Structure 1
Amino acid sequence: MQCSYFDAGRCRSCTLMGVPHAEQVAGKERHCRELLVAYPGLEWLPPVAGGGSGYRNKAKMVVGGTAAAPTIGILDADGHGIDLRACGLCSPGLLAAFPTLAEFVTRANLTPYDVPGRTGELKYLLVTESPGGELMLRFVLRSQEPVARIRKHLPALRADLPQLAVVSVNLLPEHKAVVEGDRELVLTRTSTLRMHVAGLDLHLRPQSFFQTNTEIAAALYRRASEWVDELGPASLWDLYCGVGGFALHCADPTRDVVGIETSVEAVAGARLSARDAGLGRVRFEAGDATAFALAADDAPDLVIVNPPRRGVGAELSAWLEHSSVRHVIYSSCNAVSLARDLAAMPSLRPRRAQVLDMFPQTTHYEVMVLLERP
């Protein structure tokens, strides 16, 4: 992949830019193998590469410049906007929407937030594209002051972008290094984006996490489903379940499935997906994964964990180690924390592993490991 922003030194986020994609994937698998070298009997399945460009289904774009001439992209070291609206990592649908969104910023007179001066209103545009081409757009604002103008001009925006299904405002009044706040105002009748992935519709609501790379997410769900079907557990937990991707794809009429996720919005979407798919033995609850496990009266046959970069941590690792759980499927976006967690669960031996290139052009990747209690 060739990137004019990288070549010009305007954006260096993609640290592997210029390295052939096959070499990137090989290097990631090599890195993961080195971290898991303590398990010599581990079977490594061929890595999943996917496409090296145009893969991002979500763009977190900082808005800079002025309302009359906004930039959509990132900020430089001095807090000034760098426009990246032609970023080659974003899906074609996102790229096509960016010019219209920039025009809307001007039309609605949305003053970009000035980080050094701590003035202005519009901080981010968060845009997600479904596999079917529909869009979710979230305006991250410092206050509600611009909401009336957004509502006023929203019909014209939807006429210009007919694929726009969900529009919301997220309020982030604090000056801190986070992307979004706690409060969300949905401005459209529709509040969920339908993500058709690996044969199932997943419902994505604002403030819900979904994997950045739809193609690789589908590969993850298919692989987990294959492993679960092979093992045939009667009960399964999906911890850190997000919108329920693993739980829903591993559901079976003979299997009790529980998904646990801290995000209330994600749980609402997961419940809707289960209902639409007619999955009566799948339930989702909002809560902390570790607290749920520690408070449970019984353990399931199999647990799927898909934690954030910090990993599952000492408490949940210890619970898994001393539980009666026979199998664990651990999907990790950080092999360093994965290796640490595996070392804390010596009774659960890694049996299979697969690297999936969720984030081409960067050093990050996903790895899924099947653990088994002898």
Structure 2
Amino acid sequence: MLASSTALEVLDCAYFAAGECRSCSWLGDPYGAQLARKDDDARARLGLDVDDPRWLAPVPSAPAGFRTKAKMVAAGTVEHPTLGILDETGGGVDLRGCALHVAPIADALPVLAELVRRAGLTPYDVASPLPVAQRGELKHVLVTSSPDGELLVRLVLRSTALQARVVKHLPWLREALPALRVLTINVQPEHRAVLEGEREIVLTEGDSLPMRLGDITLHLGPRSFFQTNTEVARALYAEARSWTTDLAPARVLDLYCGVGGFALHLAAPGRSVVGVEVSEDAVGFARRAATDASLPGELRFVAGDATAPEHADLVDEADLVVVNPPRRGLGDVLAQRLEASGVPHVLYSSCNPVTLARDLGTMGSYEIVRARLLDMFPQTPHAEVLVQLRRVG
């Protein structure tokens, strides 16, 4: 748990104080108060009393230096680029000094700003009246850090016009940024609020970032989803593994499996684990991690929509279904499928207690066995909640 001095501390942020960035909407409150407020809200949404033993103590995060993914908007000029966010006029606000980022990202951002200058990567000007093709090229700089400090860097460009410049400066970047493992160009040609495009060009020999989480190493591809708080993600997978060990299921189905975080952690002798994920790239990286780990039991990954009718048999055959949906939740189709199934146990990992509570309302044949908040997102009201459910009806 947090030391009391840390729990009472309010993070000092010059950007917040100056009104330049208010993304951390709870930053003015001591972290301990934030965690208690978030914990109370999530518990209440699940209809549990404050002294209900099924609601376990929250898992805290470091209040700062926890974020292992940076999504920086590029703005300004080639000579004076900004990496951060846009203000209300479309101008750039440089947030390279953001205290939320882990040290490898904080160290990398000035080097990447220098790459912008050296390679002449003209930042895209969203407020310009010029035609889209004349507004610039560089839209975002996306950086992910592994637990070992290695980096995956993605340059989101409007087109491939400046690809040769990036390639030319890659030797310099490798020397200036030894932690670089993967560098890609993502092409996003449209003038709209979309972070990335469909096309990814890998410029390095490596195409994935190893994410070492104890005895499991995941492979994170350029477009793969992974939690922004790796230390708390490690705790989330450990908790799921512990709860599953108590259940000892023979057949596990992991829906929305991504690069295989839950599925790989739940592999065990004599157990069949199937992961389903819509992204074929993510499935490929999950299979790679499974091969590297040589895990016991039967483990396979399927590319497909978790809500598709062809996966209904997998649901009916499972002893345990693990679901980790996006913020919108399971939705009626999948929640009703689980409700109508004979699945005795469900683990639901949710990043949105509102949609979690809605889905549990649909799944009336299940009762909560235990639940816990894991604070992936300090300084904000967002919460990650893991719930173990048991069929009673």
* Short-chain TM bin: over 0.9
How far, CA to CA, are the matches of 2:87 and 2:315 in structure 1? 52
Summarize deviations over 1:8-36 as a string: whole Å, max 9, x none: 10000000102111111110111112211
Q: Is residue 347 of structure 2 the alignment partner of residue 329 of structure 1?
A: yes
The alignment partner of 1:74 has SS state of strand
Match of 1:257 among 273, 278, 282: 273
Cα contact 2:184–2:200 (8 A) shared by 1: yes
How far, CA to CA, are the matches of 1:361 and 1:129 in structure 2? 20
Aligned position for 1:162: 178
How far, CA to CA, are the matches of 2:264 and 2:314 in structure 1? 21
Cα contact 2:315–2:338 (8 A) shared by 1: no
CA distance change for structure 1 residues 283 and 327 in 2, over 3 Å: closer, same or farther? Answer: same
How far, CA to CA, are the matches of 1:79 and 1:286 in structure 2? 39
Q: Is residue 235 of structure 2 the alignment partner of residue 224 of structure 1?
A: no
Match of 2:86 among 48, 60, 75: 75
1:295-314 matches, cutoff 5 A: 296=314, 298-314=316-332
How far, CA to CA, are the matches of 2:276 and 2:126 in structure 1? 36
The alignment partner of 1:45 has SS state of coil
Match of 1:13 among 23, 26, 34: 23
Match of 2:261 among 245, 269, 283: 245
Q: Which moved more, 1:31-40 or 1:200-209?
A: 31-40
How far, CA to CA, are the matches of 1:152 and 1:33 in structure 2? 53
Q: Is residue 20 of structure 2 the alignment partner of residue 3 of structure 1?
A: no
Q: How many residues of Structure 1 are paired with residues of Structure 2 in the alignment?
A: 374
Over the aligned positions, Cα root-mean-square deviation in angstroms equals 1.3
Paired-residue identity, %: 55
Cα contact 1:42–1:350 (8 A) shared by 2: no
Give structure 2 stretches of 5+ with no counterpart: 1-10
TM-score normalised according to structure 1 size = 0.98
The alignment partner of 1:195 has SS state of strand
1:200-211 matches, cutoff 5 A: 200-211=216-227
How far, CA to CA, are the matches of 1:4 and 1:98 in structure 2? 18
Cα contact 2:315–2:343 (8 A) shared by 1: no
Aligned position for 2:356: 338
1:113-192 matches, cutoff 5 A: 113-117=124-128, 118=132, 119-192=135-208
Match of 2:305 among 273, 288, 296: 288
How many Å apart are 1:199 and its aligned residue? 2.2
How far, CA to CA, are the matches of 2:261 and 2:156 in structure 1? 26
Letter paired with 2:14: S
Match of 2:104 among 69, 93, 101: 93
Letter paired with 2:260: G
Cα contact 1:238–1:259 (8 A) shared by 2: yes
The alignment partner of 1:355 has SS state of strand
Q: Which moved more, 1:280-289 or 1:3-12?
A: 280-289
Cα contact 2:253–2:320 (8 A) shared by 1: yes
